[in-house]
Chains A and B, each alone.
Chain A
Amino acid sequence: MILPALAPALSVAVPLAAAFLAVVAPRPRLLVGVTVPAMLAVMALAVLGVRQGGPLVLAVGGWEPPLGIALVADGLSTAFLVATALTIGTVLVVALPQFPIRQNETRAGWAFWPLAFLLWAALNAVFLSGDLFNIYVAIEFVTLATLALVALEGKAKQVEAAMRYAMFALFGSLAYLLGVALLYAAHGTLDIGLLAQLPAQDTASLVAAGLITAGLAAKTALFPFHAWLPPAHAGAPAPASAMLSALVPKASFYVLLRFWFDAMPEAAGAIALQLLGALGATAIVYGSILAVRQNRLKQLVAYSTVAQIGYLFLVFPLAGGSAEPQPWTAGAWTGSVFHAVSHAFAKAAMFLAVGHAVLAAGHDRMSAMDGLTRRMPMTAFALGVSAVTLMGLPPSGGFTAKFLLLTAAFASGQVLWAAIIVLGGVLAAAYLFRPLARAFLPDRGRYGTVPRAQQALPLALAMLSVVLGIVSAAPYDFLQTGRPAAAEEGLE
């Protein structure tokens, strides 16, 4: 079968082509109508291919690493690809009426489409790259597209937020690049598969690891480098926010996961792992507390992202340590991926739904939620369902993730992290309560509305995060394809 083998290449090429076309021939309805189904088909191919034949490796130009560069699609990257395709696909359909091109030609309306497709392509490139430098390039594209999307409407606040993001991202990139350079100097290769086979315990490698980790953490908005995220995500138009909050931090986290578990499983010291975990735990608590204190809907959702990202970093201490030989200790790794994916669905759904509520109300104060269950029941429902995932309540992918992480925490005797995980769920309930409760209040004043078909899309996305919790056996198995040994045995 040649087709599945082409899937990795297609999943970068198709959105890239769409991005170009969006500049040349700005007809978003047609572009979305073709690209989204096409990408879903490509995803189906990729999943099929990985399920049947294991990881797909495509050596670009026929050159094997270390000479050439490779696109690698294993269970992990395919999972992220699929999540990205489903999320962006939905976002784009929702965005169609919000960024019309023909009627009144605005910069936002014109620029959104190419940027969105570019982001998609860049994200896919990150997920497929098997090489640290390629990853750097792809991540820079992600950053670029993100920057532009944040500043899309050109308001002063947005530009300020974009600038702040640019500073953080730039520093992150620099640190990462420095690390990559050090590694290359030491080992002469940046291919992840090859790095994994090297004994990477020398000083240069370890300093490189520190730099790469710090750089990626800044890009992932891990506490205390999160401060760029809320203004940027809350300032952007809702569909853009949905992509930014749901996927962009996941890209850099994905790289971290790859780096630690695939490239340098031997490098980690126990204390460093605990530090990363501690930062994650702080993010959970800190982000939640700030989320509780927000009075703007989009700010609240953005701070929720800060908190949720914290969970991802618990994978480092949990997958490390001396795990008891239980059948499911590998859960921490899978759990964090589950969390990343279900959070992607839920957060995108939540931003889109909030966007609808904001559109209908004309502002994003809390009162935009008043009477939502009556005015726009599907939107309210979408918010509720995505909240379930964010709180990590069953049945949802968020719960499955939390369960796996908790089990790993207990199995490895790290009860403190277990307590944080549980506390985070309660805190999530605390910050999500206010908007949800207001949805039940009677509404005062005049509100617009959003067509039902539009309302249905966020709901569908939110339901996906729930379905992930109900039908989690298949995704779980799928993730194990090409799973690094370190995910099972724990980091040293």
Chain B
Amino acid sequence: MNQALPLIILATALVPSLITFFLAEDRVWVRNALNLGGAVLKLALVVFMLAEVGRGQVYQTEFELVPGLSLVLRIDALSLLFVTLSTVLWLLTTVYAIAYLHGGKNLPRFFGFFSLCVFATTGIAFSGSLITFFLFYELLTLATWPLVVHKGDAASIRAGRTYLGYTLTGSAILLVGIVWLESLTGPVAFAAPPQLAGLDAWSLRAIFLLLIAGLGVKAALVGLHVWLPQAMVAPAPVSALLHAVAVVKAGAFGIVRVVYDIYGIALVQEIDMGLPLAAIASATILFGSIRALTQHGLKPLLAYSTVSQVSYIVLGAALFSQTAVVGGLVHLVHQGLMKITLFFCAGVFDERAGVHDIDEIDGIGARLPWTSVAFTLGALGMIGLPPIAGFASKWYLGTGGLEAGQPWVVAVLAVSTLLNGAYFLPVLYRIWFREPGPNAAAAETEGPAMLLAPPIATAALALAAGLFAAAALSPLGWATLIVERQYAP
């Protein structure tokens, strides 16, 4: 059972994906049943596993492809953090996507790749070795691209080109880093980090830079983030997937793995890479927020907000402090819940009222109250207002920054909070306090339950994650468990 369970969980996403590709367009029920069934089954298995892993169980499966290239699936607490997030959000996003894309074209293709993305994300989370991670990481790139270009218009194709250009170059760099590292140490498994201490510091630095640069493309570190705002042309469920469930998270997750499970934070400090990484993450946080200020489209604003927020995770990993890494890890979940809420809502605004730009959103709160409430919760959480989840991340990151002897981190967090307020609050103001504009006036009534339930659910989860942060099974509780179990000195 311990051998098979990771494979079974992977199959819950892969099998629906493969079958969906070959379904005819009009077999809607079969398609929906498959995808939802897979998601529910996966959720059930993950919940079972949460209990088992919480008790200290570790699942591992391994088979060799060629010498030096083994597929290692290993489920530890950190994997499960990511998997649980992606599983819950997958279910909700599937529900949302079914309603959002209802009656659209090319849906078998869409849902096929959608599930394939989730499969790849799960694989990333389960990866027990660096090369396994890379395999799934690349698969994710490939499976996401058809979703980005799903609309099939010129803008999508352009966005797709940028996306592929950045991500493929990123993975190429990552691959160089991986192979270089493995040529020095042999295959790298997360469970048994290689003995790097004796190696030449400059090689270690170069490899570290390659790995981080490769992962940084997906994590949208500043300078490597260009694809993310452009990819906004994709349909809302895809944006949700890119920003909250899979892609940027995969990058950030990878960085955590590199820093903590390969190098070890102490070594990262020793080769003087911690501070630069933290600095880049901070620069990204500020850059994203400042760019978000000047956007006039709603989705670009959210995209730059993601650029900013995902670097919280990187920042947490880069600081030499257990508290900070708890903050970073928990933000993986918190940001996911909040950002997916925002994207769900942006999709509903678009779908129901044709809102694309911020100045079209005036007075929408009166027409789409529930969606607007969910959006508001998400936005306030992003700013970091308690008791919505975001503040807990910020608290831990700030405390961690001080523990690590980097008090400037707190200033970065503070400025970011203010900037977040500066770009989100005017939007909220327009939603609730402006007279309804033409879009709001022409808006349809609030949509079908399947379109409405996911944002409300994620908003509620974001609120609950903050409100019950101290509970053992909250994201924060789990992140603390990870750090205590895996990274405690």
Chain A residues within 8 Å of B, Cβ to Cβ = 324, 326-328, 331, 334, 371, 373-374, 377, 381, 384, 388, 391, 393-395, 399-400, 402-404, 406-407, 409-411, 415, 418-419, 422-423, 425-426, 429-430, 433, 437-438, 440-442, 469-473, 476
Contact = CB atoms under 8 A, between A and B. Distances in A.
B65 A470 contact: yes
Given A407-B182, A473-B63, A373 B172 contact: no
Given A395-B135, A469-B65, A429 B168 contact: yes
A14 B488 CA distance: 67
Contacts of B106: 373-374
A410 B183 CA distance: 6
B401 to A, nearest CB: 36
B183 A326 contact: yes
Interface residues of B, number: 44
Nearest to B158: A437
Scoring B66, B139, B146, B182 by chain A CB atoms within 10 A of each residue's CB, the highest score goes to: B66
30 contacts: A326-B186, A327-B186, A331-B66, A373-B106, A374-B106, A393-B142, A393-B168, A393-B171, A394-B134, A395-B135, A400-B65, A403-B69, A403-B179, A407-B68, A407-B183, A415-B180, A418-B176, A425-B168, A426-B168, A429-B164, A437-B149, A438-B157, A440-B150, A440-B157, A440-B160, A441-B152, A441-B157, A472-B65, A473-B65, A476-B65
Given A381-B21, A410-B179, A423-B172, A328 B146 contact: no
Interface of B: 21, 63-69, 105-106, 108-109, 131, 134-136, 138-139, 141-142, 146, 149-150, 152-153, 156-157, 160-161, 164-165, 168-169, 171-173, 175-176, 179-180, 182-184, 186
Which 9 pairs of residues, A with B, have the shortest CB-CB distance? A410-B183, A328-B68, A394-B135, A406-B179, A422-B172, A476-B66, A440-B152, A472-B65, A328-B67
Nearest to B161: A433
A350 B260 CA distance: 42
Given A411-B183, A425-B172, A433-B161, A473 B149 contact: no
What secondary structure prevails in chain A residues at the interface with B? Answer: helix
A419 B21 CA distance: 36
A400 B69 contact: yes
A43 to B, nearest CB: 22
A382 to B, nearest CB: 12
A262 B176 CA distance: 31
A261 to B, nearest CB: 19
A409 B21 CA distance: 38
A440 B156 contact: yes
A83 B147 CA distance: 33
B164 A433 contact: yes
A422 B175 contact: yes
Contacts of A402: 175
A327 B183 CA distance: 10
B64 A473 contact: yes
Given A374-B105, A437-B149, A441-B152, A407 B135 contact: no
Contacts of A419: 176
A324 B182 CA distance: 13
A411 B109 CA distance: 41
A400 B66 contact: yes
B178 to A, nearest CB: 9
Given A328-B68, A331-B67, A437-B161, A388 B131 contact: no
A331 to B, nearest CB: 7
A214 B447 CA distance: 70
A395 B139 contact: yes
Scoring A371, A381, A426 by chain B CB atoms within 10 A of each residue's CB, the highest score goes to: A426
Contacts of A406: 175-176, 179
B144 to A, nearest CB: 13
A440 B146 contact: yes
Given A327-B68, A433-B161, A410 B180 contact: yes
A135 to B, nearest CB: 29
Contacts of B138: 393-394, 399
Contact of B142 (A388, A423, A470): A388
Given A381-B21, A418-B180, A422-B172, 8 more contacts: A326-B186, A394-B134, A423-B172, A429-B168, A433-B160, A440-B156, A441-B157, A471-B65
Contacts of B150: 440
Contacts of A422: 172-173, 175-176
Nearest to A404: B66
A407 B106 CA distance: 40
B58 to A, nearest CB: 24
A188 B390 CA distance: 81
A424 to B, nearest CB: 9
Contacts of B146: 373, 384, 440
Contact of A328 (B21, B66, B134, B136): B66
Nearest to A395: B135
Scoring A328, A388, A440, A441 by chain B CB atoms within 10 A of each residue's CB, the highest score goes to: A440
Contacts of B169: 426
A371 B173 CA distance: 33
Nearest to B137: A394
A471 B65 CA distance: 6
A388 B176 CA distance: 18
A411 B179 CA distance: 9
Contacts of B172: 422-423, 425-426
Contacts of B149: 437, 440
A381 B108 CA distance: 12
Contacts of A327: 67-68, 186
A430 to B, nearest CB: 8
A469 B65 CA distance: 8
Given A388-B142, A422-B172, A437 B157 contact: yes
Contacts of B156: 440
A404 B67 CA distance: 9
